[in-house]
Amino acid sequence: MSNEMSLDVFLFFDGNCREAVEFYAQVFQQEIPKMMRYGENPDGSSEQDKDRILYASLPVAGQNMMFSDCPMGQNHIKGNNFAATLGSNDETDIKRIFQELSEGGQIYMPLGKTFFNELFGMVCDKFGVIWQLSLIGK
């Protein structure tokens, strides 16, 4: 099996994610394939976040744009509210890339199993770029 990878954009908002996704869907003339509130998370959520958007996606120019509201109280900064999202079908590669991006950076979420992926992690590299890494196709 050859190594398959994808690179997408993940945008974060502070309570107005639904409005933003609906706006981008109109601009790019796309249907919104998925939108999930924090209250629908099988792992639970805080009462204050239950109506915020946990995850939404939208196809744009052949790529998958993803969106989320930050949980209440998280440091949201307009202009720095995005993450590069890398998926790979090679678990060894994901672990290596995560480790290398972590050096001199800060791990936001260690690599591990989540309700939505067998292997997912989030790291801010030494240059301040936020990366989300996930195992795809397994």
Give 4-33 pLDDT, tens digit per residue.
Answer: 888 888 999 999 999 999 999 998 899 999
Structure confidence by residue, pLDDT tens digits, 43-71:
888 888 999 999 999 998 788 899 999 88
Asked if pLDDT for residue 1 goes beyond 80, the answer is: no
**26 has which bridge partners?**
none
Which candidate, 72, 68, 86, places its Cα nearest to that of 13? 68
Q: Is 84 in contact with 9 (CB distance < 8 Å)?
A: yes
Burial of 26 (C-beta count, 10 Å sphere; 0-12/13-18/19+): exposed
- Contacts of residue 124, defined as CB under 8 A and 6 or more positions apart, other chains included, come to 105, 106, 108, 130, 131
Which domains occur in the chain, in start order?
A: 5-135 (3.10.180.10)
Q: What percent of the chain lies above the pLDDT cut of 70?
A: 97
Instruction: Name the token pair of 134.
Output: 């996930």
Reported confidence tier of residue 91, pLDDT bands at 50, 70, 90: very high
Reported confidence tier of residue 2, pLDDT bands at 50, 70, 90: low
* Largest separation between any pair of C-alpha atoms in the chain: 45
Q: What percent of the chain lies above the pLDDT cut of 90?
A: 54
